[in-house]
Structure 1
Amino acid sequence: MTSSKCEAEIRPYNGRPTVFIDGEPHPLPGFNPNPRGTDRIFERAADYFFQHKLGVYIIHAPIDPFWQGDDIYDTPQGYDPQYFGVDESAEYALAGDPDAYLMVRFTPSPPTSWKALHLNEYALTEAVTTPGSPSLASDLFWEVMARVSTTIVQYCESRPWADRLMGYTNFHVTEGTHMPVDLGWLYDHNPVMVTRWRTFLQAKYHTEEALQNAYGDEALTFDTMQVPRDPLRGAVPDVTNMLYWQPAQQNQGLRDYLELQRDLWHKRFQQICAAMEDGVDRRVVFLYDALKQTQQGWNLGAFFHEKISWSPAYAEVMAGSGHISVAPLLDTPGCDGLMTPLDYQARGIGGVCEAEGIADSVVLRGKYYFAEMDQRTVPLGEIDYGTPRNDREFAALTWRNFATAWTRGFNAYLFDIGGGFYDTDARHDIIGRQIEMIKDSLHWPHENMPGIAMIIDDTAVLETNGSGNFLNEAVMWEQKMGIARCGVPFRIYLFDDLLLDDFPDHRVYYFPNLFRVDEERLEVLKNKVFRDGHVVVWGPGSGISDGQQISTASATALTGFEFDLMPVNTQRRIVLTNFDHSITQDLDPAAIIGGPLAYGPILFPTDGLDLGMAWTKWQCNQVGLAVKTFGKGAAGDQDGKVIQGEGDYAAVFTTAVPLPADLWRGISRYAGAHVYCDDNEVVLADNSLVAMHSMKSGAKRLALPGNHKVTDLITGEYFGDVTDLITFELNAPETRVFLLEAPES
């Protein structure tokens, strides 16, 4: 290895994690060309991007040339002639853009030749099928995958172009999720998993008496314990009557199995990080496609597969893939951050841009998040959900996506997965300006504005029947509907992030799935959340479990509300009945919260101030939305002044989700948050930028938190040196992005 290779690492710069190469910060505008060489697909796409002088090209290292059967090759043994190999890709990119850097990505899924030899290492469903992925319990597969990962890195390090190679991304198998769970099969019955299961139980319970007590079955022994079968795949009447939130003895098998998958996934993630690190003798950046906690409730198979229908009760994908308690994994040696796609759902025109990976936690922890913007275009991608239908929509979408990255402190690159998505002069006029702004973004200070924090508990599924349906509504769709359109910036964090000393202050804290309460968690909340005039929004099952039992007592201990409980699954809607409170005074009387999804038990708040009545069952004439003050209450209770005191806050409890944008805006104002826009538009902001994405033309207003010098980032138009209000005409579909700077003295 030569001494001329670059050294790359992540350091903070202007408030955001930044790639430093040989001691200098780089904004890294990037492009990932399709590796197909037929019809000059790779070359034509790259030729268009060369004019922009990029920071990095993300290139593919195909797996099969390095791995066939049980053999791993130090040098690739022939490429599919339809595709560029990693050498061809590197050489072509650097020939056209010699000052750029390279990042190599690969997906170490086993070749068919390995599967043919080792079908016994694959996950086995209760229907005795093997849907495409090796078992998480297969040491053989994961050891081979680690060796292949090291081998590819070592090969790339040996190449003449390695002096421009600043990092690698390992996309894992099925991009970090577990394919059987993606397809609705939670439990793995492969004998290697059964052995792991029994070993896990023995380590956890120590004695068969403890095992029997936990499961409520005196006949159980360690040697005869079988991996559970999934009750969500049972008869419709049985699944219908299966309560979503469950006590430990009722779902102990699920809890234990998910904890085993957690342990296995943590081991595998750490194993692959170590393998990547073993391939280098210098500092480079290692990223991974995994840890997609913002996707809790993801019905991945039903969304992406044309012939799979949406199930009324499907296994939660992230927990079933072992993605539980993942915060410590971000500190694993050999992990510098994540590279995942942007979420594909609701990403089209008029929608929102959200990361699949837990981007805000990554940035908070000083790691790098590099978002794959697989932005499809017509005609190649015209049948795909969210594809822009013309160049105006393409501009609106991509500016929105980049503005999301800039205001959240991460980076994004364009990915030409189809081959030819961006190969027009008109699109490159748009892309060229965006790349200029990515380069400029290095100099923009980044600081979060105190707004709304969605706090996700990635252990939450342990308190449930294992289904993902509720989390799809409360986590995934809440991100895309009300919160994203209320005119207040929001961020998404893990509960464990609250333990960090530098966790940023927000005015509203939303807990969609904090189902379990204990003294340790309460102490964290008292120190970070229950104070300073904040407003806490509690989702429908908040505190319903103490880890063993389902009760109102634990819900009261967490939320401070008293409750009635009805042990039944039911649809939930809320009609607003009190418009005198500042939270609801600007809402339309026609606003109805909730929808047709049935889950239970139901918690009805019985104290606090009633804001709305629940529409659930005949026997339940109960409140569905209530607010309660503690200490001196919220900032809105003190004429908008932010209260500096422990125990001074207010809380809102809701029996139904998702919440409308107008309600989120009312809650935010009550908490003392700055509201940029009252018109239910998609608004993005940090201290240096504010952006609006809209499908409705007309006069628009963005109120700023203080006076700023304002410049239109896209056109360069100057809006004034001292202003706290931006007024402009928006010609939909359009995204407008404004740079905010300190006024000139």
Structure 2
Amino acid sequence: MNTKRTKIIYKNGYPFFEFDEKIYSPCMFRSFRPTPANVSLAHLAGIEVFQIQVAGQLNGMDVPYSLYGGVWQDKGVYNFKNFDRQIEMFKKFAHGAKFIIFIQLDAPEAWLEKHKNSLSSFYFLHTSAYDEEWKNDASEYLCTFLKYCENTYGDDILGYGISAGRSTEWFSGTNYYNENTKKAYENYIGKKCDKIPEIPEEVKNGEIFRAPESEEYKFLKFASQGANITAEFFAKEAQKVINHKKPLGLFGGYYNLKDSLLNVNDFARVWDSGNIDMIFAPASYDDFRQIENSACVTVATDSLKMRGIVHINELDHRTELAQYPMEHPVTQNRMGYRMAEGNIIDDCYDNSFDAGMVLRREFASSVVRKSMLWWFDFFGGYYASPEYEKLLRDCVKIYNGLKVGEFSHSVAEVAVFADAESNYFIKDKADVIRSFCYNGMKEFVKCAVPYDLYNLCDIEKIDLQKYKLCIFLNSFKISKSQAEKIKNSPCKKMWIYTPGCVENDKINFDNIGKITGMNIKTVHKASDCAIDFDGCEIKFEKAVNPYFIVDDDGAERLADYKNTNGCAFAYKNGNFYIGSGNVPEKVWRFIAKKSGVHIYCDVSGAFFADERFISYQTVHTENIEIHLKEDAEFCDLFDGGIYKSENKILKYTAPKGTSKLFEKISRKGKYNEKNL
């Protein structure tokens, strides 16, 4: 058994891999179609660490995860040659590289054929969580494969990832019925039940809330734990082999996806297990990928840091070179992806300028958040040009330069809190989860305001004294101790729609007033909550019931509902309250300014900053002015040149959409070109 150890070490606060006394940059490369072409291109660009996917199943687009085939064939039957062929290709075309091995634990077809009472964990992970036969056989495979890897390629492998469930990201479908699930649920509630409770997701008369005391809520909360109970189990099994000598990671813990049931889980269970060192997560999808928007993360990265877990940001944006025919699906189990039809991939950037600038932006976001990262070349060829090879090389060079210089702290004056548990109380088809977290963050991150991002469950461990503003995106359930901590903090607070409405396992809308410190009237009527704020309309996509009016003479009236004279947006004693989701950038900027938060730029764009770096991108102007807290001199890391601010304003000119990354020149002396 290989005995060499990989450590995740920090240089000036930035994470690196250390193996056999050598430090490796965590700028990595991943592909479902690794070939000599893209592997050698990435390696020539300076990438030293590659992810290898070991899977024999189909992905969510109904094509194979890997053309090399899986290792797990059936119970106790393993084909290691499929893995050998893949790793030998990597070693040949990326000589001297190291690897992160991803092991997919969903049962192969041959196993499922022999176990008629078992369901595929890829689609039904919440039911497979209680399938002991699958878990035992998958665990046997996991441990056997880990031993093989360490004995055969231990000197080449830096770490591992474990995968299961839909998209290998520990998601599940919503068909929960299975005899194993029923028995586990009976143990959970401590009594027999005739059948598993139904989970009606239809919304009538805008009534979006699920009652916490209902049987459907109890079952949903139980079912949503399954994925993470399973992940925790496999992580513990893996550590029996690697014994914490190599870092172990998994996907999971997303807060700002647009679905509820795919996303809701008690992922803190896995984070707190002590068996996970890395959380892989894709950079935020869809709207966030557009050049006119800003980068965002899908996990609460600052909650990960509190636990000593490193965040690995997956940059899976599709360049214009990805506009080619997708492979045809090999089954009919389609999951709604338009690419599964064999058509031209069309969710790509139109040109290399847009794609390159967004990739610069995502890299800068990762640097400021002190995250590891990888570029995900889904099906090959995304980076097959000299321009992209240079971009990868520049990024790797910049990240390696982080090892020298000065330690850099966060400059965030805003803390943002998201709450996974609150999603339990919203019916999935209400289509409002996205309005709080996804759409809220899409607008907030364009305000040029640095922020720290946490899960609400961690708030009692956080020093709120360092923030001027705390934003609560979807905090429907707030414990008494959490409420007390928040109330006693000196920062301003921003509340949305129904904060604290779940009290003592019941919906109690009267509690909103206690949380916000305002008298708030509940109106039991369906409304889209359309608000007019300084000519800007704010509303839900669909009507919700109830809606709320601030009925408090002591509150500052900031905006009204359009169809009534009721106050919808107000401020009182350090608390902001707004009665609708989909809070736009204009409102976020207003709240930040009123809270005394430093806003670095008046023009909407993508802005990231810490003590050492400033990054900005906008499509609205070529003449940029960044408002600093103090004058400083900067080096442009991508395009070159030295810039000096005057009167605390950093000015520069660049084509619209250009993403810049500036490093502050050390106060101890002249900037060292070797940093690059």
Whether TM-score is above 0.5 comes out as yes
CA distance in 2, matches of 1:717, 1:292: 38
Distance of aligned partners of 1:355 and 1:603 in 2 relative to their CA distance in 1, 3 Å threshold: same
CA RMSD of aligned residues (A): 2.7
2:201 corresponds in structure 1 to 232
1:213 corresponds in structure 2 to none
SS in 1 for 2:117: helix
Q: Determine if the alignment matches structure 1 residue 497 to structure 2 residue 458.
A: yes
Distance of aligned partners of 1:151 and 1:354 in 2 relative to their CA distance in 1, 3 Å threshold: farther
1:13 corresponds in structure 2 to 11
CA distance in 2, matches of 1:453, 1:119: 49
Identify which of 565, 569, 594 aligns with 2:522: 565
Instruction: Report if aligned partners of 1:123, 1:189 keep a CA contact under 8 Å in 2.
Output: no
Identify which of 545, 551, 556 aligns with 1:609: 556
Identify which of 465, 473, 479 aligns with 2:441: 479
Q: Determine if the alignment matches structure 1 residue 152 to structure 2 residue 145.
A: yes
2:45 corresponds in structure 1 to 52
Instruction: Report if aligned partners of 2:435, 2:540 keep a CA contact under 8 Å in 1.
Output: no
CA distance in 2, matches of 1:334, 1:468: 36
1:508 corresponds in structure 2 to 469
1:198 corresponds in structure 2 to 186
Equivalent residue runs for 1:404-423 within 5 Å: 404-423=365-384
1:253 corresponds in structure 2 to 215
Instruction: Report if aligned partners of 1:516, 1:547 keep a CA contact under 8 Å in 2.
Output: no
1:90 corresponds in structure 2 to 87
Identify which of 675, 682, 688 aligns with 2:599: 675
Distance of aligned partners of 1:117 and 1:569 in 2 relative to their CA distance in 1, 3 Å threshold: farther
Instruction: Report if aligned partners of 2:413, 2:469 keep a CA contact under 8 Å in 1.
Output: yes
Identify which of 351, 356, 367 aligns with 1:395: 356
CA distance in 2, matches of 1:394, 1:563: 46
SS in 2 for 1:599: coil
CA distance in 2, matches of 1:690, 1:504: 24
CA distance in 1, matches of 2:116, 2:452: 43
Identify which of 100, 104, 109 aligns with 1:103: 100
Residue type at the aligned position of 1:248: P
**Deviation per CA, 1:313-338, whole angstroms, max 9, x where unpaired?**
xx53212xxx12x3342132320021
2:615 corresponds in structure 1 to 691
1:360 corresponds in structure 2 to 302
1:585 corresponds in structure 2 to none
CA distance in 1, matches of 2:243, 2:309: 21
Equivalent residue runs for 1:523-534 within 5 Å: 523-527=484-488, 530-531=489-490, 534=491
Instruction: Report if aligned partners of 2:604, 2:618 keep a CA contact under 8 Å in 1.
Output: no
Identify which of 65, 68, 73 aligns with 2:73: 68
Distance of aligned partners of 1:16 and 1:558 in 2 relative to their CA distance in 1, 3 Å threshold: farther
SS in 2 for 1:31: strand
1:737 corresponds in structure 2 to 661
Residue type at the aligned position of 1:256: K
Distance of aligned partners of 1:515 and 1:621 in 2 relative to their CA distance in 1, 3 Å threshold: same
**Deviation per CA, 1:24-47, whole angstroms, max 9, x where unpaired?**
6543221124445xxxxx101122
Distance of aligned partners of 1:500 and 1:27 in 2 relative to their CA distance in 1, 3 Å threshold: farther
Identify which of 558, 562, 575 aligns with 2:532: 575
CA distance in 2, matches of 1:57, 1:260: 37
In the TM superposition, residue 15 of structure 1 has moved relative to its aligned partner by: 2.6
CA distance in 1, matches of 2:172, 2:310: 29
Distance of aligned partners of 1:140 and 1:99 in 2 relative to their CA distance in 1, 3 Å threshold: same
Distance of aligned partners of 1:133 and 1:520 in 2 relative to their CA distance in 1, 3 Å threshold: closer
Instruction: Report if aligned partners of 1:175, 1:289 keep a CA contact under 8 Å in 2.
Output: no
Distance of aligned partners of 1:135 and 1:719 in 2 relative to their CA distance in 1, 3 Å threshold: same
**Deviation per CA, 1:57-107, whole angstroms, max 9, x where unpaired?**
11222345432233342x52x53xxxxxx3344334344444432211232
1:724 corresponds in structure 2 to 648
2:674 corresponds in structure 1 to none
1:554 corresponds in structure 2 to 511
Residue type at the aligned position of 1:479: M
CA distance in 2, matches of 1:501, 1:514: 16
Distance of aligned partners of 1:175 and 1:147 in 2 relative to their CA distance in 1, 3 Å threshold: farther
SS in 1 for 2:291: coil
Q: Aligned residues: percent identity?
A: 17
SS in 2 for 1:592: strand
In the TM superposition, residue 539 of structure 1 has moved relative to its aligned partner by: 0.6
Aligned residues: 634
TM-score normalized by the length of structure 1: 0.80
Residue type at the aligned position of 1:270: E
Instruction: Report if aligned partners of 1:362, 1:369 keep a CA contact under 8 Å in 2.
Output: yes
Residue type at the aligned position of 2:28: G
Equivalent residue runs for 1:159-558 within 5 Å: 159=152, 161-175=153-167, 181=173, 185=174, 187-202=175-190, 222-233=191-202, 239-241=203-205, 243-249=207-213, 252-280=214-242, 283-295=245-257, 298-299=258-259, 316-319=261-264, 323-324=265-266, 326-346=267-287, 347-381=289-323, 384=345, 386-443=347-404, 445-467=407-429, 469-480=431-442, 482-501=443-462, 505-527=466-488, 530-531=489-490, 534-558=491-515
Of 258-267 and 537-546, deviating more is 258-267
Instruction: Report if aligned partners of 1:245, 1:601 keep a CA contact under 8 Å in 2.
Output: no
Q: Determine if the alignment matches structure 1 residue 710 to structure 2 residue 634.
A: yes
2:64 corresponds in structure 1 to none
CA distance in 1, matches of 2:230, 2:426: 25
Residue type at the aligned position of 1:621: N
Instruction: Report if aligned partners of 1:60, 1:106 keep a CA contact under 8 Å in 2.
Output: yes
For structure 1, the residue ranges without an aligned partner over 5 or more in a row are 37-41, 80-85, 203-221, 234-238, 300-314, 577-588, 630-649
Instruction: Report if aligned partners of 1:372, 1:412 keep a CA contact under 8 Å in 2.
Output: yes
Distance of aligned partners of 1:96 and 1:722 in 2 relative to their CA distance in 1, 3 Å threshold: farther
SS in 1 for 2:445: helix
Instruction: Report if aligned partners of 1:348, 1:386 keep a CA contact under 8 Å in 2.
Output: no
Distance of aligned partners of 1:682 and 1:282 in 2 relative to their CA distance in 1, 3 Å threshold: closer
In the TM superposition, residue 499 of structure 1 has moved relative to its aligned partner by: 2.5
**Deviation per CA, 1:168-207, whole angstroms, max 9, x where unpaired?**
11232224656653xxx3x5111111111122111xxxxx
SS in 2 for 1:173: coil
In the TM superposition, residue 522 of structure 1 has moved relative to its aligned partner by: 1.5
Of 565-574 and 240-249, deviating more is 240-249
SS in 1 for 2:531: strand
CA distance in 2, matches of 1:418, 1:258: 36
For structure 2, the residue ranges without an aligned partner over 5 or more in a row are 57-68, 325-343, 670-676
**Deviation per CA, 1:703-725, whole angstroms, max 9, x where unpaired?**
12212221111122111387732
Residue type at the aligned position of 1:340: A
In the TM superposition, residue 156 of structure 1 has moved relative to its aligned partner by: 1.0
Instruction: Please identify runs of 4+ aligned residues in structure 1 that moved more than 6 A.
Output: 129-133
Residue type at the aligned position of 2:111: W
Residue type at the aligned position of 1:107: Q
Distance of aligned partners of 1:96 and 1:596 in 2 relative to their CA distance in 1, 3 Å threshold: closer
Instruction: Report if aligned partners of 2:126, 2:227 keep a CA contact under 8 Å in 1.
Output: no
1:217 corresponds in structure 2 to none
